[in-house]
């Protein structure tokens, strides 16, 4: 299991790559129920990290597009 502190340091690209790997493993099958659940939970956590990065990027773009006051 990974440490939440380490998760906070993941870049968007790192989180996305790990999420893709998790999805591949789940799609390939052949894992136990317990391992599949752990992979699913990890995938959910990685999806949250990716969404936070995307939300932050959107906020920065929106702020940059605001007219200067």
* Domain at 13, CATH number: 1.10.287
What is the span of the domain harbouring residue 16? 4-65
Total residue length of the chain: 69
The pTM is what? 0.82
Q: How many domains does the chain have?
A: 1
Give the per-residue pLDDT at 69: 60
pLDDT digits (tens, 9 = 90+) for 11-29: 999 999 999 999 999 999 9
How far apart CA 63 and CA 69 sit, in angstroms, is 12
- If we measure between CA atoms, which residue out of 10, 18, 6 comes closest to residue 53? 10
Give the per-residue pLDDT at 2: 55
């Amino acid at each position: 299991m990974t440490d939440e502190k380490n998760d906070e340091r993941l870049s968007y690209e790192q989180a996305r790559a790990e999420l893709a790997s998790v999805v591949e493993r789940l799609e390939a099958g052949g894992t136990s129920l317990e391992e599949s659940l752990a992979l699913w939970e990890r995938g959910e956590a990685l999806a949250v990290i990716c969404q936070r990065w995307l939300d932050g990027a959107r906020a920065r773009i929106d702020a940059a597009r605001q007219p200067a006051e």
